[in-house]
Amino acid sequence: MENKLRNTNLNNKIHSGKVRDIYSLDENLLLFVATDRISAFDVIMNEVVPSKGIILNNLSAFWFNQLENTKTHFVSKGENFDFSKYTNFQDLDKKILHRSTVVKKAKRIDMECVVRGYITGSAWVEYKNKGTMNEMSLPEGILEAQRFEKPIFTPSTKASEGHDEPLSSQAGKKLIGDKLYEQLEEISIDLYIKAHDFCENKGIILADTKFEFGIIDNEIILIDEVLTPDSSRFWKKDDYSEGNSPNPYDKQFLRDWLNQQDWNKTPPPPSIPNEVINNTLGRYLEIYELLTNDKLNI
């Protein structure tokens, strides 16, 4: 449990997010460092999940390589990149290298592109309370974790502070324009279907996921992380049945524990017991190994 990385402090830092620290390498490239921080309900926990950044970094790289027909910002994992001409980034600590990715700079589109194949999480809560999902009316009688006839695009805001909020299609189009919204909807659903089919062949259900996109040379590019337990919900097919909340192999495990606490979802968060940290790590590692057929030495 000693392999921990909460913060990084290299030169040329341009942003520190809930999980990733971002650095400028040059005018075209960025260095993303996936720390071991973990957030839930848009609040960063006080504790880290040791080696989580290594899992996220390797799983994102795996998916970027799987999605070879998709334009992405991915260049290389940090451990495979030649930093010799970057004075500020030579002799990087292995803790950082194993959690880092070199990517192309892109102009980020400020909308999170969520695709849901099954009703769960916040969508299930909204449906139970209002009969809607992202303000869309849904039929009566839907069960928890039920699969939709086809995947549904349910974007949200990309909040710099506070909570991301669901967007109706009308609000999303107003935010980024009709054409770009429709392009992102089509791309996101296509990516989800490809990833869902891949996961299904591994005995895994991809319940939902979040994509982010940017623009490079007037082209839409897949950016950020992709299809990790931080940004997706994974269930084992053997655990799945409609009407029940399946056993989560993602951040939902932590969310479920937090939902049982007396906490109003604003800072400061409650202290997380080691048992919950260890179980979260175990689930992240298990889903990585099931999807990639690879074992990480962490």
Please state the domain extents for the chain.
13-105, 108-261
User: Is residue 156 within 8 Å of residue 112, measured between CB atoms?
Assistant: yes
Nearest of 103, 54, 115 to residue 224 by alpha carbon:
103
pLDDT for 1:
46
How far is it, in rounded angstroms, from Cα 287 to Cα 89?
A: 32
How far is it, in rounded angstroms, from Cα 32 to Cα 97?
A: 10
pLDDT for 297:
84
User: What CATH number was assigned to the domain covering residues 13-105?
Assistant: 3.30.200.20
> For the chain, which ranges sit under pLDDT 70?
1-2, 159-163
Q: What is the pLDDT of residues 89-109, one digit of tens each?
A: 999 999 999 999 999 999 999
Tokens of 127: 């449906």
* β-bridge mates for residue 128, sequence order: none
Could you tell me the CA-to-CA distances from 42 to 17, 37, 66, 139, 162 in Å, in that order?
A: 10, 12, 29, 30, 7
Region of 123 please: left (phi>0), alpha (psi -120 to 50) or beta. Answer: alpha
Q: How many residues can be counted in the chain?
A: 298
Q: Are strands 29-34 and 136-137 parallel, antiparallel or unpaired?
A: unpaired
How far is it, in rounded angstroms, from Cα 169 to Cα 276?
A: 37
The total of other beta-carbon atoms located within 10 Å of residue 84's CB is 8
Q: pTM of the prediction?
A: 0.95
Tokens of 220: 């839409």
Q: CB-based contacts of 92: which residues, under 8 Å, 6+ apart?
A: 10, 78, 83, 100
- DSSP code for 163: -
How far is it, in rounded angstroms, from Cα 288 to Cα 294?
A: 8
Domain 108-261 top-level CATH class: alpha beta
